[in-house]
């Protein structure tokens, strides 16, 4: 009887332990992509858009420790995600949105910028804690209100600290995982490069 009771208690504790593990380690890249796609569906339904998820390019971090980068580079929208050494959990995420110079309302450039803006919403919402896209959209409202008021916004979201700033037409939103291990320092070259000797300007 006692063994059965211990087994039952163990099974009851499993979901709790799993949830705590997810809270400590952070959001997986796969979950980010899933939430990002759900968010775009939500935006499409509510804003009459036809957005499709952008596919980040994958590359090795170059530190020989399992870390990976997932990136999207553009003149208007950029996304940089770095995973931890497992290659799964996000330890750093940066989203940048830049308004093109001399953009006029209703122009093709303006329409493209608006599309990129909605894409950035979907990415930002993917890092939010809500279970549904509707709940996650509240983070967009918070960031917009904070930036409009002071140009900066800070918020703790689980293990992630969010820092957002708006300057000269560019909004940058950065998430840092507080449980992430420090990134490796660059390994110095075995043969140091000699410094150049300054040449006098008035030589000869």
Domain residue ranges in the chain: 25-177
Give CA–CA dist 98/123, Å, rounded: 15
Contact at 8 Å (CB) between 159 and 24? yes
Query: What b/e readout covers 179-204, taking b as 16+ CB neighbours within 10 angstroms?
Result: ebeeeeeeeeeeeeeeeeeeeeeeee
Smallest CA-to-CA distance from 163 within 152, 177, 171 is with 152
Give CA–CA dist 128/141, Å, rounded: 12
Contact at 8 Å (CB) between 33 and 53? yes
**pLDDT tens string for the chain (204 positions)?**
444 333 333 333 333 333 333 333 899 999 999 999 999 999 999 999 999 999 999 999 888 888 999 999 999 999 999 999 999 999 999 999 999 988 889 899 999 999 999 999 999 999 999 999 999 999 999 999 999 999 999 999 999 999 999 999 999 999 999 988 776 654 444 444 444 444 444 433
Q: State the pLDDT at residue 183.
A: 67
Cα–Cα distances in angstroms (integers) from residue 14 to residues 10, 26, 48, 129, 194, in the given order: 7, 18, 42, 21, 59
Q: State the pLDDT at residue 192.
A: 43
Q: State the pLDDT at residue 179.
A: 86
Q: State the pLDDT at residue 22.
A: 37
């Amino acid at each position: 009887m006692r063994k059965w009771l211990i087994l039952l208690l163990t099974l009851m504790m499993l979901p709790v332990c799993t949830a705590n593990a997810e809270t400590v380690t952070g959001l997986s890249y796969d979950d980010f992509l899933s939430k990002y796609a759900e968010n775009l569906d939500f935006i499409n339904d509510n804003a009459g858009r036809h957005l499709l998820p952008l596919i980040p390019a994958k590359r090795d971090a170059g530190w020989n420790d399992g870390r990976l980068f997932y990136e999207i580079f553009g003149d208007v929208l950029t996304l940089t995600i770095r995973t931890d050494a497992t290659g799964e959990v996000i330890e750093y995420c940066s989203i940048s949105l830049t308004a093109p110079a001399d953009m006029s309302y209703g122009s093709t450039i303006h329409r493209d910028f608006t599309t990129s803006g909605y894409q950035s919403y979907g990415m930002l919402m993917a890092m939010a804690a809500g279970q549904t896209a509707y709940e996650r959209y509240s983070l967009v409202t918070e960031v917009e209100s904070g930036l409009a008021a002071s140009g900066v916004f800070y918020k703790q979201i689980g293990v992630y600290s969010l820092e957002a700033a708006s300057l000269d037409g560019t909004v940058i939103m950065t998430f840092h995982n507080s449980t992430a291990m420090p990134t490796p320092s660059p390994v110095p070259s075995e043969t140091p490069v000699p410094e150049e000797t300054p040449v006098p300007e008035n030589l000869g």
